[in-house]
Structure 1
Amino acid sequence: MAQDWTLLVHGGSGIITRDTLAPDGEQRARAALHRALDAGAAILDSGGSSLDAVEAAVRVLEEDSHFNAGRGAALGLDGVATLDAAIMTGDTRAAGAVAGVTCTRAPVSLARAVMDDSPHVLLAGRGADEFAAERGLEQVAPDWFVIPERAAQLEAMKAAPGGVFDTDMKYGTVGAVARDRTGHLAAATSTGGVTGKRWGRVGDSPIVGAGTWADDRACAVSATGTGEQFLRVGVGHEIAARIRLSGEALDAAVRDVLAEVRALGGTGGVIAVDADGGAVWHFTTPGMYRARANGDGTRQVAIFGAE
């Protein structure tokens, strides 16, 4: 039987264990996940759209510097935060995305504006910020996104032998998926990418069909992990295609596609909801910031693998 409404959110996956996450960090992360659920659930419970709900939930996480999106995003090799986001609705498969944003406070809302107010799907770099300013979205100085913890992580990466990016393997990308009371699905994802990125690197999060996907005929997906491998698999679209074309169940489709990612050397996680409101999350890392709620009052917030 279909759920009244369903909402899932995530704040990234990676080497997140009780040994690596301090108690105050755990408390802060759980509180943020609850706030994201509150924002999305308030919309869905009042009969609002899944699209509005996922945007609202992701905006909450973009504002919390514990996660790698918006304020507190990972820094590139030049010390600048460049932000990526995407949003998609499953009824028409309309989508909007941005990459390399440096001045727009709410990248997910800029992605929504690209979808609603432009003839395009993906805008990048300075042009994306210019579009945001023209549409009246709040602009901030680039250093507003920078916090001391991320600056220290960048310096530690530079000092490490080889200077390999993302050395702590915490993929703090944030995302949300939802099914509303009308049965429509939506997904949104937002990220700062990986520490030490350069050359304008863009991962899977803003790429429709990879890190973000919604199709009422199958499911909505938001992903987090090693972006290069998630891009090569086309994770979001691949999960939906297995459901729509092969009749695979949501749980099996997510597990099978994550296994493909792992076979290519990638790790990460996925949240997904299907047309009946069935919801799953799976991850191939020790932990994943994740939470869910639905119309019957069920609510769950989890971080570590054993939860």
Structure 2
Amino acid sequence: MPQPFAIAIHGGAGTILKHQMSEELKLFILEDLKKSVLAGHSILKMGGNSLNAVVEAVKVLEDSSNFNAGKGSVLTNKATVEMDASVMCGKAMTAGAVAGVRHIKNPVMLAKDVMQNSDHVLLIGEGAEEFAFENNYKYTEEEYFHTERRHKQLQYLKEKGLFTFSECEYPDDNKYGTVGAVALDQNGNLAAATSTGGVANKKYGRVGDSALIGSGTVAENGNVAVSATGMGEIFIRKMVAGDVAARMRYLGEDVHTASKTIIQGDLKTIGGEGGLIAIDAFGDICFAMNSSGMYRASIDVKGDLNVKVYADD
């Protein structure tokens, strides 16, 4: 009997305003989300593993300028990019992550190589890039990542003295722009991947939850895979992804109850906005958010495709 397989992806959660979202921009975003989830699902459909599926799905979003990861990353206070990413494979609970990389086109790929080709879990900054170049990664000039939108956003935030998102001229400037994917493959293996450019106008080598296993990313066979998106500092404090997994493991909660308890309850109590995607060992998919929207898409165990933007979709 065929084993179930499924995948879900996200492109960030937060305040996504309908009245500022043009139909043209919405169509571009929906197309990117669809392309991402289909890229991952095609691997699962052919019997491929969940790790490769989530990495390929995230790469699509990193290559798009519509999301805060890879090409569309927000800019630091010094007008540079500092990108973070992590992956986790549920079979042996192996993981890899990078933080503060500036010249790597697809940080999620580097996180995967840290997991598979090093003795470590997390590499940062120059060291992460040294490892990358030793493993035949091409040096990518920072200009590749810069977009007019992000330059305008940085200028606005500097003028206002802000370090995080605030409404400008785009419908999702107050959105936490992490991207991520979770998947279950035909062998019952769970995996998760998360990637981000961080928060705009950040200083001092700030790192959020996306690079931290147990906060932004987790995968555990027989239980759940999670990728989170939101206010990184608070997601770290609440250990969001790991907390979902723990509630399911120790309390026996289903993926929907565990996810919504964290996102709608405990996280909100300490001022955290955002959301997460999760998939359990049977392929049941959950999207949980306490914000007005989350860019998201999924292909469930029945093969049904869903692509959505707003919380009430």
Shorter-chain TM-score category?
over 0.9
> Are 2:87 and 2:193, in contact at CA under 8 Å, matched by a contact in 1?
yes
Aligned twin of 1:35: 35
Aligned twin of 1:306: 312
For residues 10 and 130 of structure 2, the distance between their equivalents in structure 1, rounded to whole angstroms, comes to: 29
Give the 3-state SS of the residue equivalent to 1:205 in structure 2: helix
For residues 187 and 28 of structure 1, the distance between their equivalents in structure 2, rounded to whole angstroms, comes to: 25
1:191-210 correspondence runs (5 A): 191-210=196-215
Superposition CA RMSD, Å: 1.3
Aligned twin of 1:62: 62
Aligned twin of 2:90: 90
1:152 maps onto 2:157 in alignment: no
> Are 2:234 and 2:272, in contact at CA under 8 Å, matched by a contact in 1?
yes
> Are 2:284 and 2:300, in contact at CA under 8 Å, matched by a contact in 1?
no
Instruction: Give the letter aligned to residue 236 of structure 1.
Output: A
> Are 2:275 and 2:294, in contact at CA under 8 Å, matched by a contact in 1?
yes
1:232 maps onto 2:217 in alignment: no
1:293 maps onto 2:299 in alignment: yes
Aligned twin of 2:123: 123
Q: Which runs of 5+ in 2 are unaligned?
A: 167-172
Any idea what the Cα deviations from partners look like across 1:64-111, whole Å, max 9, x if unmatched? Answer: 000000001011100001100000000100000000000011100000
For residues 202 and 228 of structure 1, the distance between their equivalents in structure 2, rounded to whole angstroms, comes to: 9
Any idea what the Cα deviations from partners look like across 1:111-135, whole Å, max 9, x if unmatched? Answer: 0000000000000001111111111
Any idea what the Cα deviations from partners look like across 1:182-219, whole Å, max 9, x if unmatched? Answer: 11100000000000100110000010000000001310
Give the 3-state SS of the residue equivalent to 1:170 in structure 2: strand
Aligned twin of 1:261: 267
Output the TM-score relative to the length of structure 1. Answer: 0.97
For residues 225 and 267 of structure 1, the distance between their equivalents in structure 2, rounded to whole angstroms, comes to: 6
Aligned twin of 1:140: 140
> Are 2:178 and 2:198, in contact at CA under 8 Å, matched by a contact in 1?
yes
For residues 292 and 73 of structure 1, the distance between their equivalents in structure 2, rounded to whole angstroms, comes to: 23
Shift of 1:296: 2.5
For residues 276 and 164 of structure 1, the distance between their equivalents in structure 2, rounded to whole angstroms, comes to: 40
Aligned twin of 1:242: 247
Q: Which runs of 5+ in 1 are unaligned?
A: none
1:272 maps onto 2:278 in alignment: yes
Shift of 1:274: 0.5
Instruction: Give the letter aligned to residue 231 of structure 1.
Output: I
Output the TM-score relative to the length of structure 2. Answer: 0.95
Shift of 1:165: 2.2
Instruction: Give the letter aligned to residue 255 of structure 2.
Output: L
For residues 236 and 3 of structure 1, the distance between their equivalents in structure 2, rounded to whole angstroms, comes to: 25
For residues 237 and 157 of structure 1, the distance between their equivalents in structure 2, rounded to whole angstroms, comes to: 32
Q: 1:2 to 1:287 in 2, by over 3 A?
A: farther
For residues 12 and 155 of structure 1, the distance between their equivalents in structure 2, rounded to whole angstroms, comes to: 22
> Are 2:283 and 2:301, in contact at CA under 8 Å, matched by a contact in 1?
no
